[in-house]
Amino acid sequence: MDFDELQNTIRTIEAKVPGVLSDAGSIDALRSLESGILGKKGSLGSLIATIGRYPQDQRGKVGQAINAAKGRIKGLIEKRFKEFQAADAAEEVDAAAAFDPTLPGDPIPMGAVHPVTAVQWEVERIFERLGFTVEAGPAMETEYNNFDALNIPDTHPARDMQDTFWLTNGMVLRTHTSPVQHRSMLKFGAPLRVIAPGQCFRYETVDASHDTTFYQIEGLLIDRDISIPNLIAMAKLLLNEVMQREVKVRVRPGYFPFVEPGIEIDMNCEICDGVGCATCKQSGWVEVLPAGMVHPSVLKAGGIDTEQYTGFAFGLGLTRLAMMKYGIRDIRVLNTGDLRALVSPRRLGGVLLC
Ligand code: PHE
């Protein structure tokens, strides 16, 4: 083609450019258009290879004509490219404006301990400071450990005090943590300071303050010259520390075959502040600490020299203490798996149950 034809071709190519550019819907589409026009094999780009076919004296202006067109087209593509960039930036600004940093975020589920566990840990810390070790015994016990070793032989009427879940293998679900007294005496001998938190089971009618599953912390101190005042002093210290203030207590005689004498240490009902409510059975007092001096038969069964040693034992009602501490009116809340009891036990006790 001669120079005139070339100029016509260039004009035709250029005339189409604005239309195809405005049809391009994305930066990628723009890039492929660019190479389709200006690339080596593109409609305009491929003309460069034809320069050599022109007479020597024309090659200069042929080259200039092609390059000038190339520059103009490049300018148009660049302009369109900037339009895309501006649109993207505007979209980002819109997204940033739509984000409101004052809105509450998505809630993050948080773990919390069960009220009984919380009080258990607290009691463990208090006793560890007093030189006690923390022991554990099995929930499935032998009849011997749960009863006989604790001075409750087969014929003893006290077996009826604790309605028992008997298992088909002849063992029992322990009715109290007291079997750990016997286990610890055999394991450590005297002198001895242990506590044993754990789950206990009784086959009894469920009400606001009784459930078939509950927690106790057994305590046992064996040493020389131990007597009831040591026990009472320790009980008061324990309750005051857990409740974080001076707790009103009363001491009554109590009967348990494995202690002599036996006592009941009651605390002021924190739900009604001693006035009387369903939780304390209108008495204003809650039985939290049955206790006493370890019966000599129990010491002997544990291999302890009763000439040298005496000891006290208690069976802290951990579930009841947790109810008092967190204002939970009904023991059943603690075994339902209701997660609200974990987050705010006081609210659950106050709102759902009064
Ligand atoms: N084991 C008794 C009960 O569960 C409580 C207790 C423990 C009493 C230790 C005295 C001494 O009822």
What does the pLDDT read at residue 346? 45
Structure tokens at 69: 């067109």
Structure tokens at 277: 């409510």
Dihedral sign computed on CA atoms, order 230, 235, 238, 239? negative
The residue among 57, 35, 48 whose CA lies nearest residue 9 is 48
What does the pLDDT read at residue 258? 97
Ligand 1 shell residues, CB under 6 Å: 176, 178, 256, 259, 262, 290-292, 313-315
Q: Is 330 exposed, middle or buried (0-12, 13-18, 19+ CB in 10 A)?
A: buried
What does the pLDDT read at residue 265? 97
CA–CA gap between residue 144 and residue 148 (Å, rounded): 5
Q: What is the CB neighbour count within 10 angstroms for residue 258?
A: 24
What does the pLDDT read at residue 299? 98
Residues 171/147, Cβ–Cβ less than 8 Å: no
CA of 289 to the centre of ligand 1 (A): 8
CA of 58 to the centre of ligand 1 (A): 117
The residue among 292, 303, 229 whose CA lies nearest residue 257 is 292
Mutate to test the pocket of ligand 1, among 141, 159, 164, 176 (most ligand atoms within 8 A of CB): 176
- Contacts (Cβ under 8 Å, ≥6 apart) of 61: 3
CA–CA gap between residue 54 and residue 6 (Å, rounded): 11
CA of 178 to the centre of ligand 1 (A): 6
- The position carrying tokens 């007597």 is 227
- Among protein residues, the one with the nearest Cα to ligand 1's atom 10 is 291
- Among protein residues, the one with the nearest Cα to ligand 1's atom 5 is 315
Q: Which amino acid is at 200?
A: C
CA–CA gap between residue 35 and residue 78 (Å, rounded): 13
- The position carrying tokens 């979209």 is 91
Structure tokens at 3: 């120079």
Q: For the chain, list residues with pLDDT below 50.
A: 343-354
Atom of ligand 1 at shortest range from CA of 178: 1
- The position carrying tokens 């203490």 is 321
What does the pLDDT read at residue 290? 98
Residues 304/297, Cβ–Cβ less than 8 Å: no
CA–CA gap between residue 144 and residue 131 (Å, rounded): 29
In total, the chain counts a number of residues equal to 354
What does the pLDDT read at residue 103? 87
For residue 261, the SS3 value is strand
Residues 178/313, Cβ–Cβ less than 8 Å: yes
Q: What is the CB neighbour count within 10 angstroms for residue 202?
A: 19
CA of 85 to the centre of ligand 1 (A): 80
Residues 226/310, Cβ–Cβ less than 8 Å: yes
* Total H helices, total E strands in the chain: 11, 9
What does the pLDDT read at residue 111? 63
Atom of ligand 1 at shortest range from CA of 290: 8
CA of 177 to the centre of ligand 1 (A): 8
Q: What is the CB neighbour count within 10 angstroms for residue 162?
A: 19
CA of 163 to the centre of ligand 1 (A): 14
What does the pLDDT read at residue 353? 34
Mutate to test the pocket of ligand 1, among 160, 184, 216 (most ligand atoms within 8 A of CB): 216
